[in-house]
Structure formats: C-alpha cells, structure tokens
Amino acid sequence: MTSWTGRTAAEIAAAVREKRATPREVVAEHLARIERLDGRVGAFRTVRAEAALAEADEVGARADLAELPLAGVPVAVKDNLAVRGESKRVGSAATPDTPSTEDHVTVARLRAAGAVVVGLTNVPELCVFGTTEGVHGTARNPWDTSRTAGGSSGGSAAAVAAGLVPIALGNDGMGSLRIPAANCGLVTIKPGHGVVPARVSDGDWFGMSENGPLATTVEDARMMLGILADAEFVRPPESGMRKVAVSLRSPLAGIAITAPYKAAVRDAAEVLMKAGHQVRRADPSYPMSLSLTSLAHWTAGTSEDAQGLDPALLTRRTRVHAAVGRRFVKGVGTGKAREELRRRLEPFFEEYDILLTPALARRSPASAPWHERGWLRNILANTNYSPMTPPWNLTGWPAMAVPFGTLPSGAPTAVQLVGRPGSEAALLETAEQLEKLHPWQRTAPLD
C-alpha cells in the first residue's frame, strides 16, 4: 500500500488527478498521522476529521478533478483566517467561539484548487509573538520538541514539518511565516505588499501583514503562492546570473548572530557563487532607529487588534503590548517611517538583486509557558532570536526563509532571501537552486 504522508503536495495532487489515489484515502491517512503524533507536536487547535473526509469526497466527485492543482491535498490553516463553519480564536480566550459564515479569500482559493482543510493551527494570542503557546495549545518544533516551533504561524509550521500535512497557510506581520519556517526546516515566502489578498485583521497591521505558504519544497511553495495570488510565478526571463549581497549584520542594533546561522549564510553564499551568481559582502544601510520603528509598529498593530476584546480575558503580555502600542498608533498610521525606510534601502536594491542573510540570530527559545511570563521577558527573547525579519514587513518587500544547514542538536538552520518589489519569481528560482545543490531533509524524524 502506498503511503501518502510525507509526500509533497505536487506528488499527492498528481496521484489524485491520475486516479492513483482518492482524496478520501489521502486525507484519512493524514488524519491518522495527526491523531498519532500531534499530542507531541501541538500543531492543531482543532482538527476537522469528519468535515475533512466529507470535503474529500466532494473533491473526488468534482467534474474538474483532473485539472485541480491541489487535488485532494490536505492543508492546515492558521487560526487567524476564517474557515467556514469553524470558529476563529486567534489564540485567545477573549475571541468569540462562533463559527465563521464564509471562508477567507485565501482559504476559498485553496479549496477551489482542490485542497481539503483538515484543521486550524495554534497561534500565540492575537498572533503577537515569535513563540506559539497559550490557552488553546503549545506548538513545538518537531525537530526538537524541547524548543518552540516559533510564531506566530507556529502551529502551521509544526504541522508541515511533522508531516501532518504537506502544506499549510500562514501569515507574516513581522516575520510570522519566516521565523517558524526557519525553526522547522521549511520553505516560505512572505510576498510583497498586494501580491496576495491580506485581510488578516482590521488594517493588517498597517499594511504589513501578508498571507503565504509553508511547504517542504520550493515547488510546493511556488504552486501554493500562485494559487493564493491567483497568478503565476514562473522562472523569470532574465534567469541567470544575479548580484547577491551577503550580510551577517543584524538590522536591529546590538544583537549578535550565532555561529550556526553565520555558517549557513557563508555556505549558501558559496553555493550561489559556484552556481554562477555574483556574490559580494555588503550590508544594507539600516538606520539606528530601526529598533524603535519596529517596536512601534509591532505594538501598534496589536493595539488595533485588541480593540473590542475584554482585557480581562487577554494575557498580561498581550495587554501590556497593546497598551504600549496605543502611544504609537497615530504616528505609525501616517506611514512616514515606512516610507523613509524604503527610500533609504532602495539604492541598495538598485545595486543588488538579492540580499542573503541569516533567517534567525539563534535557535528558538525553549518550549515553555511564555504567555504566563512578563512582557519585557517576551520582548527580549523574541528580539534576540529573530531580529532579521521586521525590515521587510516595514518596506512591504518580498522575503523568503530557506532551510540550509543544521544546529548542533540536528535541528535545521535557515537563510533569508530578500528582493525588491515584484521579485517573488526571482527569489523562488534562487531558492530552488539552493534546494537542488544543497538538498534538505523535508520532515522531522518523528516516527
């Protein structure tokens, strides 16, 4: 009997289209794996077992089955996006436990492409932090369950890395796709602003939040991004040598990059150089004020999201985060700081096609009840391990996390690829070269 867990979305969809497998048997096998392993991983807030099997039968009966790019592919959805018939809790006790009446546009596009939603994944409260734990569950890194999966798309990343689903949907407002992807050895891309419909929350964190894929291969990430964006991301006509800048500097002042993440960047740079790219050491001109700008936007977004929720039902760290953010909302809303940052960084991307950096500064924090700890302790833990991602939400430019190398524990490390607006296809092609020339183990050895 063929096993469909551990297969890529592309492999599963091809088998279903060619009637070598049915959507029901694919989904049932993944549901069984979820039941067996998710107690160790904590990826899911809720699993839609009966509903998913019924939807799998509906996909199998579709007249256009042979044309569906995600035919019968199980997918997990981050619990801040609406799934018809399911509540959207956003990791909080303060949100209503009432079913959504319709799908978020990205969920609707995945379902139209033949995907089957098997469950909603755990997130930190209001998707604020880079660790995933709270009243609805704790998402652990399947490669090292003593560590957090990251956040805020931690449950989605854990689900894919554990082989519970081949792909998952998440979003990124300050690194919330790239941070857990880097922890869990996955490919992700935060698309540039406006490429994929956002509608993550009111104001989308002032336009910084973007929806995107979590996958184990670049092929799956490209395919899923195309469905989410309703566009194609084929190899660009200018494929060939690119100017790649390599930077080991943290954008946020005073944070050191640890040796495994520096080594991952150096090794990835060598791979790209051998592939024919022009690779140079060069640091973007990050302003000294970037730390304050990042904090202002991070907290202001939470302040907006917390409006209308009962503060007594929010954790203390979330209440403090929102209270700090209220002081910044007016200034952040002007967009002036983000525009100034774009103007400052644009000359760098006129000289270089791609920026290669570490995806993280260090391994993720221990899996612990961070939601019960103080605000400042959370801020320091998050900032010290994940300073590399915020600039690209502030600018609204595309950025990827790509697995590359390992930590002493055997868990993955990762690099970040950043490009100018409209460079999603170029980033994906460059990531694909890294994958081809330096392949990675796609899922954690949990069995």
Closest by Cα among 87, 98, 94 to 128: 94
Q: Cis omega (within 30 of 0) on the bond before 152? A: yes
Tens of pLDDT, residues 283-307? 999 999 999 999 999 999 999 999 9
What's the average model confidence in pLDDT over 20-32? Answer: 98
Please tell me the distance from the alpha carbon of residue 434 to that of residue 264, in angstroms, as a whole number.
12
What is the C-alpha separation between 213 and 226, in angstroms, rounded?
Answer: 10
Mean per-residue pLDDT, 148-169: 98
Q: For the whole model, what pTM was predicted?
A: 0.98
Q: What is the three-class DSSP state of 77?
A: strand
Quote the CA–CA distance of 385 and 364 in Å, as a whole number. Answer: 6
- Per-residue pLDDT tens over the stretch 193-247: 999 999 998 779 999 999 999 999 999 999 999 999 999 998 766 667 999 999 9
Residues involved in catalysis: 78, 152, 176
Residue 203: per-residue pLDDT:
76
SS3 of 387-430: CCCHHHHHHCCCEEEEEEEECCCCCEEEEEEEECCCCHHHHHHH
Give the pLDDT confidence score for residue 201 in this predicted structure.
Answer: 82
pLDDT in tens, 313-335: 999 999 999 999 999 999 999 99
The DSSP-derived string for 191-252 is PPTTSS---SSTTHHHHT-EEEEEESSHHHHHHHHHHHHTS--PPPTT-S--EEEE----SS
Enumerate domains of the chain plus CATH numbers. Answer: 9-292+315-437 (3.90.1300.10)
The predicted structure's pLDDT at residue 202:
74
* Residue given tokens 């807030």 in the structure block: 45
pLDDT of 432 reads: 96
